[in-house]
Structure 1
Amino acid sequence: MSLDITIDADEEWDSSTDWARLAEAAAQAAIAESAFPGLVQAARPVELSVVLTNDEEVRGLNAEWRGKDKPTNVLSFPQAEADELDDADTPGPELLLGDIVLARETCAREAEEKALPLTSHATHLLVHGTLHLLGYDHLDDETAEDMEAREIRALARLGLANPYEVAA
């Protein structure tokens, strides 16, 4: 699996953090807890893109793609279909999982409200976004419980606490 990371608002994202390493670890942990754990070392190349940007950029994307004219913490734009995820172990062209976009100001505000380091909260959001790229959602209680359980296990792999207990 390869990760393409873009830091648009680099003056706002702490340059002392290795965001590429953090994003890759989060994605790998999420994939390991998904129905597609083989994606990390699939027979075909697998790529996902992460963009670290600001609230203004995310607000524009959220308005354009979701009809919500406000910033949000994370957006996910899946590109792979379920059958492509199932066939990742078959040699073939590169499999593009999709794009994850994080908004710096919203992430930082939420981290502060939860008394968490920004890196911990961003890791959670990257796990969450990766699971969305793999077809998981939280549209009803059953799918939300499944997705949250996968997030909790993925974060535990990274040594991070259950974000839903911390929030409670």
Structure 2
Amino acid sequence: MTLPTLTLSLQYGRFPDAAKHRLVLKRHKVERWIRHALAADGEVTVRIVDAQEGQTLNREYRHKDYATNVLTFDYAVEPIVMADLVLCAPVVEREAIEQGKTLEEHYAHLLVHGTLHAQGWDHETSEADAQEMEAEETLIMQGLGFANPYQA
């Protein structure tokens, strides 16, 4: 199976635990996770941020005043997938602990999830769409050697 090509920019905001997240998010792993979720070639920027930056972006762009795990900014330039994925490190880490997952596993899932959003998948439009997106995420994650992200 030939995977789509990916031009990746991997960025880190300045925050106290950034080094721990850099260790988990090796460039080759991030590229692999995203490429498996792409249906076409892509240009993706991944930025790992602290809670303050995550909350500011969520408030400004989604009008929700809290830091969320992943934000997807899709620039819809077909046939190339162009997007920014912003992941909030403290939220991702907290959720991984709460869900009994490794930090790597949760980052992989959220990068797959965000990449699908960048291609038009949406779990907030209907229950059927949510189930379809979860099924696709599960297939991709299992193909990457991870467990179903929606089972405890």
Q: Please give the range of the TM-score, normalised by the shorter of the 2 chains.
A: 0.7 to 0.9
Q: Are 1:103 and 2:92 counterparts?
A: no
Q: Which amino acid aligns with 1:61?
A: L
Distance 1:11 1:57 in 2: 13
Q: Are 1:17 and 2:17 counterparts?
A: no
Superposition RMSD on alpha carbons, in Å? 1.5
3-state DSSP of counterpart to 1:77: strand
Match of 1:141 among 109, 127, 132: 127
Gaps of 5+ in 1: 41-45, 89-94
The verdict on how the C-alpha distance between 1:149 and 1:96 changes in structure 2, with shifts beyond 3 A counting, is closer
**Larger RCO (alpha carbons 8 Å, 6+ apart):** 1
TM-score (ref. length: structure 1): 0.80
Matches within 5 A, 1:16-165: 16-31=23-38, 36=39, 39-40=40-41, 46-81=42-77, 84=78, 88=79, 95=80, 97-139=82-124, 140-165=126-151
Distance 1:73 1:141 in 2: 21
Q: Which amino acid aligns with 2:114?
A: G
Distance 1:141 1:29 in 2: 24
Number of positions where the alignment pairs a residue of Structure 1 with one of Structure 2: 144
How far did 1:18 drift?
4.2
Residues 49 and 98, structure 1, Cα contact 8 Å, conserved in 2:
yes
Residues 127 and 151, structure 1, Cα contact 8 Å, conserved in 2:
yes
Distance 1:16 1:78 in 2: 27
Q: Which amino acid aligns with 2:31?
A: E
How far did 1:8 drift?
1.1
- Percent of matched pairs sharing the same residue: 35
Residue by residue over 1:24-56, the C-alpha shift from the partner in whole angstroms, topping out at 9 and shown as x without a partner, is 11111112xxxx3xx24xxxxx31110011111
How far did 1:65 drift?
0.3
The verdict on how the C-alpha distance between 1:113 and 1:49 changes in structure 2, with shifts beyond 3 A counting, is same
Distance 2:14 2:60 in 1: 20
Residue by residue over 1:144-165, the C-alpha shift from the partner in whole angstroms, topping out at 9 and shown as x without a partner, is 1111111001101110000111
